[in-house]
A = this chain, B = another copy of it.
Amino acid sequence: MKINSLMPAVYCVHALLLLCVLATVSTASRAEKRVFDMTIEDTRINLVGNRDFHTFAFDGQVPGPLIHVKEGDEVTVNVTNMTTLPHTIHWHGMLQRGTWQNDGVPGTTQEAIKPGDTYTYQFVAEPAGTMWYHCHVNVNEHVTMRGMWGPLIVEPKNPAPIEKKVTKDLIMMFSDWASKWASKPGEGGIPGDVFDYFTINGKSFPDTQPIRVKKGDVVRLRLIGSGDEFHSIHIHGHIALVAFKDGLPLAHPYQGDTFVVGPGERYDLIINMDNPGLWMVHDHVDTHTTNGDKPMGGIMTTIEYQEVGTDYPFYEWKDKKFMPDFYYEASLAKPHGIHRSKVFKGELIEE
């Protein structure tokens, strides 16, 4: 990043401060070589109720496995395409210095991976931050509504002070689905389509999961726009600090309660859990809180404080079965590597 050299005098104060932080990055930490295997499989997943969808799922799950590595790691991913259509993987946000042919764009950096073939991607995990990966063939269909996306989290060698305070690290990937094409793989994602299902990590309310916290927690919410539409995420009862955009630290974080997330964008929110209660988190694009033509679905979840519990007659989720890794929180706490999650596993579709 020689971006700083471009900055006019007026930005220098910040640039200098930023450089001080960056300068402390240790060059002594050793990069790991990490090798992962992934498949792409015709997979039936369930968004909510009886709404199934035919996807081309990484390792048979939507979202795909969490890839969690450290800045500077040398990453190798062997991908086997077990579907009947061509695919690639683009590592959205990775700079691919010296490895542009690993950027995963058909017709620009490689031929698409044919059905049955295995392809190997190799790159250095750079820069750090909230990144993601997705197919780059017919993105209008494959990314928008065949579930071909997963999180790629690159831990910084020298985390910023604000990151060190985080006690709970969660990932939310937002997507949109046109049920018209649910069982027509290879078709759809075209102008005029009506998106009628909306998901967080592949599930619509009430099949999403609560965010469980206790007073004093510092939550990092990694919002990823992985679908076709714009979302406007509202957090009740808290002021959130936007600390990262597209994985990169903002020199000047800003506060708010409602945040627009465009396709491909990432925003990391830092939220002090200082207000015990049950709180809604949802898309304020109101029609994104429907399941088909039914209201009170889609992109909605709650924050549940341990201090207040859930035993309220009015609480829709008071008897809900809790699945702890729904936001990849448990996986993010594990050592670096690739982390699959049963929560997201679909059903193999065999012809």
Using a CB–CB distance below 8 Å, which chain A residues touch chain B? 1-3, 5-11, 13-14, 17-18, 20-21, 90, 92-93, 95-97, 100-101, 103, 105-111, 127, 136, 138-141, 143-144, 160-163, 165, 189-196, 218, 225, 227-228, 230, 232, 234, 236-239, 241, 243, 245-258, 260, 262-266, 270, 272, 274-280, 284-287, 289-290, 292-293, 295-296, 302, 308, 313-317
Contact = CB atoms under 8 A, between A and B. Distances in A.
B20 A100 contact: no
A143 B288 CA distance: 13
B6 A315 contact: no
Contacts of A11: 162, 251-253
B8 A160 contact: yes
A304 B60 CA distance: 35
A211 to B, nearest CB: 13
Copies in the complex: 3
Contact of A8 (B5, B161, B313): B161
Nearest to A97: B275
A189 B287 contact: yes
Smallest CB-CB A-B distances: 8 pairs: A100-B277, A264-B284, A8-B161, A107-B316, A191-B196, A232-B262, A258-B264, A246-B256
A246 B237 contact: no
Most chain B C-beta atoms within 10 Å of own C-beta, residue among A107, A237, A245: A107
Contacts of A287: 140, 144, 189-191, 193, 228
